[in-house]
């Protein structure tokens, strides 16, 4: 597939790049190291309408295509991957409500979510259930016109700001297979019985909070059942994960590109034996491999995005893009650190942060080994695609 960005997409790309260069790159390292929440950057994204990326224009959003979505996440991640994470979880939640919510749910939430007046996230993972979502233990028991929710969710981005928070639960724990008894509830901030117990300490991915949430007979109105039909939660979640994998792939490309940029700049300035280290073949080989793989990862990500935009119900393409791009990010960040030598290990240089951020993309939205099995199973069912 030959993918060329339209004039509108190129202009959009430049707008996000300018914002990143102006508002994010100058402050990212200091804010990340101090643990400062990026409030001013979030306000800037609100003004640009970026919280409405996945919400239709008629509901106040931008309603961009998946390829434009990938552009946003790549450009933001060149500055600070954590910033992209704030938008990523929010955008997935908005997409779920847009595609599966009732008319009343869309009217209640989407306009405020598009403006950033409300924010959201996605509560799927549990302490004993990550890749195996059918193994979740959070249960929602119907009690007249409400659900009583009990269980624990963990690794939840935007948890302290989410209102509402889509939560994957079992409304019928006895169903076999389990996915037939799974549903998504839209849990509003301040819900009685819902407690954010702690922020999880992380190697990287600083900026957005990542929390553990405990539900102890939390009271959720029955009207907050996504789509108003029980048993569709697993399919609803999976539909969002396809776009989420393109999101993660694009973030990985952004981190990898920044790692290459830092390596190029440093190798042109750092001298050894009387000349820039970029003159040495060992360094040139690393840079050439980085640049080639990054471009391949970008094209694969754009291809996956285009397949989703074509309405291809794609599972293989987003999985391939996320798998390949995240491995490239890991490799590029390490090679950039090697080019920097001892300085690459210093918190005074950007590459150290990139090296800590890169592993998340190999884990988030399905670990890479799980995605390898997804790809293989899909190929056995459908055969190779062109």
- Given 234, 254, 285, the domain boundary residue is 234
* pLDDT score for 3: 76
Do 99 and 180 lie in a common domain? no
Do 289 and 366 lie in a common domain? yes
* pLDDT score for 67: 95
User: Which of 266-275's residues contact partners 24+ apart within 8 Å by CB, and which partners?
Assistant: 266/339, 266/340, 266/343, 266/349, 267/339, 270/341
Do 291 and 329 lie in a common domain? yes
8-state DSSP, 22: I
* pLDDT score for 313: 59
Looking up residue 333, the CATH number of its domain turns out to be 1.20.140.10
Q: How many domains does the chain have?
A: 3
Distance, first Cα to last Cα, the chain: 8
- Given 61, 86, 115, the domain boundary residue is 115
Cα–Cα distance measured from residue 360 to residue 73, given in angstroms and rounded to the nearest whole number: 14
* pLDDT score for 1: 55
Q: 351 lies in a domain?
A: yes
Looking up residue 37, the CATH number of its domain turns out to be 1.10.540.10
* pLDDT score for 227: 97
Do 176 and 249 lie in a common domain? no
Which ranges of the chain have pLDDT less than 50? none
Catalytic residue among 23, 217, 365, 378: 365
Please indicate whether residue 365 is annotated as part of the active site. Answer: yes
Do 274 and 377 lie in a common domain? yes
Its domain, for residue 283, covers 235-382
- Given 207, 234, 261, the domain boundary residue is 234
- Predicted TM-score of the model (pTM): 0.95
């Amino acid at each position: 597939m030959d993918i060329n960005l339209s004039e509108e997409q190129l202009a959009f790309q430049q707008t996000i790049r300018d914002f990143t260069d102006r508002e994010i790159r100058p402050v990212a390292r200091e804010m990340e190291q101090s643990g400062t929440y990026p409030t001013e950057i979030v306000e800037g994204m609100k003004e640009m309408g970026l919280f409405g990326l996945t919400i239709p224009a008629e509901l106040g959003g931008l309603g961009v295509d998946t390829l434009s979505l990938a552009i946003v996440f790549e450009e933001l991640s060149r500055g600070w991957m954590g910033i992209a994470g704030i938008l990523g979880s929010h955008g997935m939640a908005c997409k779920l409500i847009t595609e599966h919510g009732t008319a009343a749910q869309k009217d209640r939430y989407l306009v405020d979510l598009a403006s950033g007046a409300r924010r959201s996230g996605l509560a799927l993972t549990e302490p004993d259930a990550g890749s195996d979502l059918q193994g979740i233990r959070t249960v929602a028991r119907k009690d007249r016109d409400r659900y009583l929710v009990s269980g624990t969710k963990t690794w939840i981005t935007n948890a302290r700001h989410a209102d509402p928070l889509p939560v994957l639960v079992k409304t019928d724990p006895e169903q076999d297979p389990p996915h037939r008894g799974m549903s998504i509830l839209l849990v509003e901030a301040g819900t009685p019985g819902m407690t954010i117990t702690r922020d999880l300490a992380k190697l990287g991915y600083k900026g957005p909070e990542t929390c553990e949430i405990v539900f102890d007979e939390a009271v959720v109105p029955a009207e907050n059942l996504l789509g108003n039909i029980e048993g569709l939660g697993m399919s609803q979640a999976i539909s969002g994960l396809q776009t989420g994998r393109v999101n993660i792939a694009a973030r990985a490309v952004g981190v990898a590109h920044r790692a290459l940029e830092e390596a190029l700049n440093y190798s042109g300035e750092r001298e050894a034996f009387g000349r820039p280290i970029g003159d040495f073949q060992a360094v040139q080989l690393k840079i050439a491999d980085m640049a080639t793989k990054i471009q391949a990862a970008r094209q694969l990500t754009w291809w996956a995005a285009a397949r989703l935009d074509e309405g291809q119900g794609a599972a293989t393409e987003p999985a391939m893009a996320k798998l390949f791009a995240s491995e490239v990010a890991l490799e590029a960040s390490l090679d950039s650190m090697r080019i920097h030598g001892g300085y690459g290990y210093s918190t005074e240089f950007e590459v150290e942060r990139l090296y800590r951020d890169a592993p998340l993309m190999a884990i988030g939205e399905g670990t890479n080994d799980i995605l390898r099995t997804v790809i293989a199973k899909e190929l056995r069912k459908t055969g190779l695609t062109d």
